[in-house]
Amino acid sequence: MEENYKKNGGIDTRRAGGRPKLARYERRNHHHKVSYNDEEENIIQYKAEQAGKPDDVYLHEAGLDAVVQAHMSDENIEQLRDVCGMANNTNQIAHQANAGGFVSVRFKAEQLIISLTELIRRILRGGDLSEPTSATDDCITH
């Protein structure tokens, strides 16, 4: 240290004071770029203002505290496909009923109603397709 002092003509070149370095686990060295349209930006600014925080602090805290859920689970997608298939069957039955009278498609219509009722009960129960529905389930009556 004394050598440094003598080399620089008697001027001490060490840093004086300043902010101490953060510990490695405290450093924020990961950045994400996110873009917003004008409407979204206005919403974020409004919410940050309501929280009494700057936009960047609000977004940082919101990102860490937010609970994000998947749009639809694979099971829900499967159920939606089943409902769409049944809707197609309903449309075909309606065309047959218009052409040949309801009596000719009564059995198909009744079976479709039973299938739809079963699927809706499973969805209301939370989407568990492994359990059969019970006859005493009063969620939907037909």
* Tens digits of residue pLDDT in 38-53: 999 999 999 999 999 9
Which residues have CB under 8 Å from 91's CB, separation 6+?
none
Of 80, 89, 88, 66, the closest CA to residue 120 belongs to: 80
Give the tens place of pLDDT for each residue, 59-95: 999 988 887 766 777 777 887 788 888 778 788 888 8
Q: Measure the CA–CA gap between 67 and 41, rounded to whole angstroms.
A: 21
Is residue 116 within 8 Å of residue 86, measured between CB atoms?
A: yes
pTM, 2 dp? 0.39
In this prediction, residue 51 carries a pLDDT of 92
Q: How many CA atoms lie within 13 A of 141 on its CB side?
A: 2
